[in-house]
Chain A
């Protein structure tokens, strides 16, 4: 009798803890939407999304330049970091001797533990002057921000994809080697394809961090709410827009910042859906994929 009561309590206790994260997310969504929708309604959803001028002092709330900015920074950062981190993960999982791996793993994990303000400060002091010297302009640019983000998301992608490469069953590798394939052929044609779903998860996580990063981007991106004409132009990200003006905003402006958060939220949802679709599709193709 006592055991059954214990079981019951533990079961319900676990259920409550599990449901609490869902409840918290729902509460946040409800709050963001209730604060942000008034601005979208009175300014017009399409005007808000596709407007190209952000000038709160004259009542203009168009966030398209910032959507472009956020997407541009994230895309560039992924272009730089995905090849780098995948090759690094393959090296660590397959090629590196144990001792090298023992050193590299904690080093890369430390990279993930550095606070973003430190990255931002490093970017401001070191990278911005370098960019100005070599590429001209002010040095504050989409490219500068994406380089900083590349370093920031590198550890996430490396460690998650390394785990997925390592969890490919050793039978796959052994069978391939037994058939006479070289180590590189095995990695390229057997191990990596089997690990692709996990690699996609790693990229999604990295992308999520890149698009949500605020502080480091504020410090190096220049925060100009204009369409960039090249990757050397300063841009403002959606997150930066909220963080920069939240302290001062009142009324319509305040609500418009929450509406910016709604757009950011939807953007991340769309990216997640796309990424999950590929994750699912690849999983079917591989057949025996374990992740």
Chain B
């Protein structure tokens, strides 16, 4: 009876000590956290990077652009991901590496006949001044505005790029992720929302903004204006494995993978 307990306790102790004293010097770890829009791109990059660097352990976490900036500042992670246009005071002490440009796509239901909106019309819609699609040449259908939660990088970019100082109407439905915005738009003939170009698929219809259709080309040449940078942030100057990873991401090989994810590559440091 007693020996059973002793064996159990010994087993637990052995497991704990084995865990504690495992040599960790064999591999390096790299922590990455931040914007959920940048996350899928970085995850793809990490997969490829680890093929050539099997000894590096890389963790990629979401949490939002704000969290990315905060945790990299506090030294909790080595690399933060951001999908917002960064103000200079946000990045004091940080080095920013732009890895690509993403478009913000205005998405409506596939059944919606409206094809083009101007930025002014968008501002009027999202601030609640235009409330019916027939005011825009569409059917007599109430407009249902769908936005993201305050703090989301996509939401903040939309606010900066389209709304400016105008407030988004308070009755707008709030969805907590790009996928649920897409779901809501897909089901509702009167809905309008905004998503990242990376997530665009046939479930929703992308609108032309100021007569330009969002695509990698129009974002790359700057004619589609609703675009935002995807940035990796490092505290101070990157060293060691962090440096290696960022250099690789900005290399032609890394940028080719960025391009595969529908993000427009930029090979430049900002």
The stretch of A75-83, A215-223, A259-267 that contacts the partner chain? A215-223
Min distance, Cβ B133 to any Cβ of chain A, angstroms: 14
CB <8 Å contact, B173 and A248: no
User: A residues within 8 A CB of B171?
Assistant: 224, 226, 234
Instruction: Judge whether B76 is part of the interface by a CB distance below 8 angstroms.
Output: no
CB <8 Å contact, B150 and A124: no
Instruction: Judge whether A138 is part of the interface by a CB distance below 8 angstroms.
Output: yes
Q: Known A-B contacts: A223-B149, A245-B149, A248-B66. Give 5 more (CB < 8 A).
A: A128-B184, A223-B174, A226-B171, A248-B65, A248-B150
CB <8 Å contact, A140 and B149: no
CB <8 Å contact, A224 and B70: no
With A244-B174, A248-B64 as given contacts, are A139 and B188 in contact (CB-CB < 8 Å)? yes
Instruction: Judge whether A225 is part of the interface by a CB distance below 8 angstroms.
Output: yes
Instruction: Judge whether A250 is part of the interface by a CB distance below 8 angstroms.
Output: yes
Q: In the assembly, what is the distance between CA of A57 and CA of B151, in Å?
A: 9
Min distance, Cβ A32 to any Cβ of chain B, angstroms: 20
The stretch of B6-14, B15-23, B24-32, B175-183 that contacts the partner chain? B175-183
Min distance, Cβ B170 to any Cβ of chain A, angstroms: 6
| Least CB separation from B174: chain A residue | A223
Q: Using a CB–CB distance below 8 Å, which chain A residues touch chain B? A: 55-57, 124-125, 128-129, 132, 137-140, 218-219, 222-226, 234, 236, 243-245, 247-250
CB <8 Å contact, B151 and A249: yes
User: A residues within 8 A CB of B63?
Assistant: 247
CB <8 Å contact, A138 and B151: no
Within 8 A of A (CB), among B21-75: 62-67, 70
| Least CB separation from A141: chain B residue | B173
With A247-B66, A248-B67 as given contacts, are A138 and B173 in contact (CB-CB < 8 Å)? yes
* Top 5 A-B pairs, shortest CB-CB distance: A248-B151, A223-B174, A244-B149, A247-B64, A248-B66
CB <8 Å contact, B151 and A245: yes
Within 8 A of A (CB), among B157-190: 170-176, 180, 183-184, 187-188
Min distance, Cβ A54 to any Cβ of chain B, angstroms: 9
User: B residues within 8 A CB of A55?
Assistant: 150
CB <8 Å contact, A139 and B187: yes
Min distance, Cβ A198 to any Cβ of chain B, angstroms: 37
Instruction: Judge whether B123 is part of the interface by a CB distance below 8 angstroms.
Output: no
Q: In the assembly, what is the distance between CA of A11 and CA of B76, in Å?
A: 43
User: A residues within 8 A CB of B65?
Assistant: 248
| Least CB separation from B159: chain A residue | A57
* Interface contact tally, CB-CB below 8 A: 71
Instruction: Judge whether B144 is part of the interface by a CB distance below 8 angstroms.
Output: yes
Task: Count contacts on B: residues with CB < 8 A to the other chain.
Answer: 25
User: B residues within 8 A CB of A225?
Assistant: 170
CB <8 Å contact, A140 and B170: no
CB <8 Å contact, B183 and A224: no
Within 8 A of A (CB), among B127-158: 144, 149-152
Question: Which one of A128, A243, A247 contacts B187 once the chains associate, using CB atoms below 8 Å?
Answer: A128
Q: In the assembly, what is the distance between CA of A195 and CA of B202, in Å?
A: 55
CB <8 Å contact, A140 and B66: no
Question: Which one of B66, B170, B172, B187 contacts A250 once the chains associate, using CB atoms below 8 Å?
Answer: B66
Instruction: Judge whether B77 is part of the interface by a CB distance below 8 angstroms.
Output: no
| Least CB separation from B155: chain A residue | A248
Per-position 1/0 for B185-214, Cβ under 8 A of A: 001100100000000000000000000000
User: A residues within 8 A CB of B174?
Assistant: 222-224, 236, 244
| Least CB separation from A53: chain B residue | B170
User: A residues within 8 A CB of B188?
Assistant: 129, 132, 138-139
Question: Which one of A56, A124, A138, A250 contacts B191 once the chains associate, using CB atoms below 8 Å?
Answer: A138
Question: Which one of B64, B67, B70, B176 contacts A223 once the chains associate, using CB atoms below 8 Å?
Answer: B176
Min distance, Cβ A123 to any Cβ of chain B, angstroms: 11
Q: In the assembly, what is the distance between CA of A222 and CA of B67, in Å?
A: 24
Min distance, Cβ B91 to any Cβ of chain A, angstroms: 15
CB <8 Å contact, A56 and B150: yes
Q: In the assembly, what is the distance between CA of A129 and CA of B188, in Å?
A: 7
Complex A-B: 21 CB contacts under 8 Å? A124-B180, A129-B188, A138-B144, A138-B184, A138-B191, A139-B188, A140-B173, A219-B180, A223-B176, A224-B170, A224-B172, A234-B173, A243-B176, A244-B176, A245-B149, A245-B151, A247-B62, A247-B63, A248-B151, A249-B66, A250-B66
With A218-B176, A248-B67 as given contacts, are A226 and B170 in contact (CB-CB < 8 Å)? yes
Q: In the assembly, what is the distance between CA of A57 and CA of B150, in Å?
A: 8
Q: In the assembly, what is the distance between CA of A245 and CA of B66, in Å?
A: 11
Q: In the assembly, what is the distance between CA of A236 and CA of B173, in Å?
A: 10
